[in-house]
């Protein structure tokens, strides 16, 4: 063992300190169960804090006819029938309680004059059911959860990078990692582990994730522990990411901008959504708006920098300042652009992993005893198109449920099985990387990977491109074995990036291999060589390692929910 190894024991370890991880940790602490939360980046700056639009629950504060059943129907319809109906029921039925929890913790929701929570339209919802706080809802939720965790004295380690889960006989018993600042190692023993380390959208060039988050860490940790990944090919491209400046490419312009009446135009000044969804126009679903923008750009009607225009300048200044304060501020800071007077140049950007670690609907168990996955790390709720506002409520509902499940798992354990072999392998992996002195640069390999994914597995895909992607990825994987890792005075970031790269490569392979198998166009997944939706492919694809993709049937939708679903049309979805 290393002299600098710190050993910690806790009942439940939570990996990831965004909304999902914190909500689970809070549940455990409120139940009096020992918990430790660790994150590789500061908790106040978790990805959840970027969520702008709002959080969904059929509270019926604005539209009294709304019900959780209708919310479930909208979610299933928008998933292009790939969401798990049981997962959807649990989230939509438990949503109001999730909002109550947030209120109990002190969340400052926007309210009507009579005190009820305001709700707005968001994406393809039948009714107004998105609660919000300005256009920085995620930031307020994250702050609220951090405050509640502090009240409960939840221990949080902010700069610990988990490199391996420790597993013996298909049961998890902890994790191994290192401190990003000083390189000291951690062996954390736990009865149960909750994986809440986000998705894999950072493996594309333009993405709404920041530099070192959502690199597919959850995928790699899970697969090495014996779990499987479901639907990694189903990645939501958000219609409106900034193009410049380069260092902020992909930064989101909230969909609230379209929700409040923003208009999309191409370089010719045409309001192009009339070609793709004349009824809903800019209020169409994410996949359609992203595909429409992509098609306009691809066919040569884009802006000089390869985007389209989003214009809110016709809206009253007061509307912009009260409803879109963060968009206004961001554009002023990044581009010296005044959105009350000028349009914003945007393009589709990789935004959300709708697939993720395979989990059971009822408790988000992964099939490895004591190991759970939640939030963007998990799968089952979104199918082939996520409804805006559903991800934030998912964190609260499953954070609570999984906290409870992990508490019960811990209480029921008679003994913790450990393994010197598993620990030795985790330790050796870090040692080997630290000793790596090859010619390859980690950062440049990361860029190469992002280029491969953007080029061959972006908004629109086809077989020849995906096969090229596989070949280039295989070449890249060989080069990863020759990296040089050089910790310096600033800390062990280089080691962290090397692990990010390993995770990204695994996530990229899972994505491309499942994208090849999904020979149809459905929701976010556009195959120009298979432009139609194929009813026979109403299945989830489950990836358990290179070359291993299986189909999984989806349970039937309950009749009461099916009755509330309107037809999913594939009109306006054709690509080229």
DSSP 207: B
DSSP 234: -
In degrees, to the nearest 5, what angle opens at C-alpha 336 toward C-alphas 335 and 338? 110
**Distance from C-alpha of 67 to C-alpha of 169, rounded to nearest angstrom:** 44
CB distance 145 to 105 below 8 Å: yes
> Which of left, alpha, beta for 163 (phi over 0: left; psi -120 to 50: alpha)?
alpha
**Distance from C-alpha of 24 to C-alpha of 28, rounded to nearest angstrom:** 6
CB distance 366 to 380 below 8 Å: no
CB distance 308 to 258 below 8 Å: no
CB distance 259 to 285 below 8 Å: no
**Residue entry with tokens 């690509």:** 575
**Distance from C-alpha of 196 to C-alpha of 510, rounded to nearest angstrom:** 19
Nearest residue to 90 via CA among 320, 520, 352, 397: 397
In degrees, to the nearest 5, what angle opens at C-alpha 441 toward C-alphas 437 and 442? 100
Rounded to 10 degrees, the C-alpha dihedral 142/145/147/148 comes to 180
Nearest residue to 21 via CA among 32, 6, 36, 33: 36
Phi and psi (nearest 5°) for 180?
A: -65, -25
Q: In what order do the strands lie in the sheet with 229-230?
A: 356-357, 229-230, 539-543, 549-553
* Residues found in the chain: 576
Name the strand (E) or helix (H) holding 533.
none
**Which residue out of 47, 89, 185, 258 is catalytically annotated?**
258
**Which residue out of 148, 238, 409, 427 is catalytically annotated?**
238
Instruction: Give the side-chain half-sphere CA count within 13 A for 272.
Output: 26
- HEC assignment per residue over 361-391: CCCCECCCECEEECHHHECCCCCCCCCCCHH
**Strand, coil or helix: what is 122?**
coil
Active site residue 258: yes
Instruction: Give the side-chain half-sphere CA count within 13 A for 177.
Output: 26
Name 247's Cβ contacts closer than 8 Å, sequence gap at least 6.
none
Name 426's Cβ contacts closer than 8 Å, sequence gap at least 6.
163, 164, 166, 176
CB distance 156 to 419 below 8 Å: no
Rg (CA), the chain: 23
CB distance 434 to 485 below 8 Å: yes
Joined tokens for residue 304: 């000089």
Active site residue 238: yes
Nearest residue to 550 via CA among 506, 528, 518: 518
Catalytic residue positions, numbered? 238, 258
């Amino acid at each position: 063992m290393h002299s600098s190894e710190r050993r910690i024991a806790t009942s439940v370890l939570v990996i990831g300190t965004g909304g999902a991880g914190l909500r689970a940790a809070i549940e455990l602490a409120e139940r009096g169960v020992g918990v430790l939360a660790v994150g590789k980046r500061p908790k106040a700056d978790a990805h959840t804090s970027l969520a702008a639009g709002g959080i969904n629950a059929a509270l019926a504060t604005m539209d009294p006819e709304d019900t959780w059943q209708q919310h479930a129907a909208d979610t299933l319809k928008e998933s292009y029938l790939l969401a798990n109906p049981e997962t959807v029921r649990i989230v939509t039925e438990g949503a109001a309680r999730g909002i109550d929890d947030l209120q109990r913790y002190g969340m400052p929701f926007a309210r009507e004059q009579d005190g009820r929570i305001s709700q707005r339209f968001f994406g393809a919802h039948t009714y107004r059911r998105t609660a919000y706080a300005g256009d920085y809802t995620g930031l307020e939720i994250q702050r609220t959860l951090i405050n509640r965790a502090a009240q409960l004295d939840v221990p949080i380690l902010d700069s610990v990078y988990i490199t391996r889960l420790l597993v013996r006989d298909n049961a998890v018993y902890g994790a191994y990692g290192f401190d990003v600042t000083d390189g000291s190692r951690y062996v954390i023993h736990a009865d149960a582990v909750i994986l809440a380390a986000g998705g894999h959208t950072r493996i594309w060039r333009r993405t709404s994730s920041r530099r070192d988050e959502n690199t597919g860490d959850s995928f790699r940790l899970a697969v090495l522990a014996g779990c499987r990944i479901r639907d990694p090919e189903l990645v939501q491209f958000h219609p409106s990411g900034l193009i410049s400046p380069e260092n902020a490419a992909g930064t989101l312009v909230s969909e609230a901008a379209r929700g409040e009446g923003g208009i999309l135009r191409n370089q010719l000044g045409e309001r192009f959504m009339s070609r793709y969804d004349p009824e809903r126009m800019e209020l169409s679903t994410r996949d359609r708006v992203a595909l429409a923008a992509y098609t306009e750009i691809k066919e040569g009607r884009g802006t000089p920098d390869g985007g389209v225009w989003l214009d809110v300048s016709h809206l009253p200044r007061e509307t912009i300042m009260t409803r879109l304060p963060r968009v206004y501020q961001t554009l002023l800071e990044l581009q010296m652009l005044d959105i009350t007077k000028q349009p914003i140049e945007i393009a589709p950007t990789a935004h959300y992993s709708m697939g993720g670690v395979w989990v059971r609907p009822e408790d988000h168990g992964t099939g490895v005893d004591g190991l759970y996955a939640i939030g963007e790390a998990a799968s089952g709720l979104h199918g082939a198109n996520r409804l805006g506002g559903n991800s934030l409520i998912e964190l609260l509902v499953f954070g609570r449920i999984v906290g409870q499940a992990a508490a019960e798992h811990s209480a029921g354990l008679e003994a913790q099985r450990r393994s010197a072999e598993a620990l030795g392998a985790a330790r050796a992996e870090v040692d080997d990387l630290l000793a790596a002195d090859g010619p390859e640069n980690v950062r440049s390999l990361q860029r190469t990977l992002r280029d491969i994914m953007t080029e061959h597995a972006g908004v629109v895909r086809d077989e020849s491109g995906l096969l090229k992607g596989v070949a280039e990825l295989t070449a890249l994987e060989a080069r990863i074995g020759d990296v040089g890792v050089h910790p310096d005075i600033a800390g062990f970031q280089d080691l962290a990036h090397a692990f990010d790269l390993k995770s990204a490569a695994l996530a990229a392979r899972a994505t491309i291999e499942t994208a090849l198998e999904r020979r149809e166009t459905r929701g976010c997944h556009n195959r120009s060589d298979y432009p139609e939706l194929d009813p026979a492919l109403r299945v989830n694809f489950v990836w358990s390692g290179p070359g291993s993709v299986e189909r999984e049937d989806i349970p039937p939708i309950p009749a009461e929910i099916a009755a509330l679903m309107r037809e999913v049309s594939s009109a306006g979805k054709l690509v080229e």
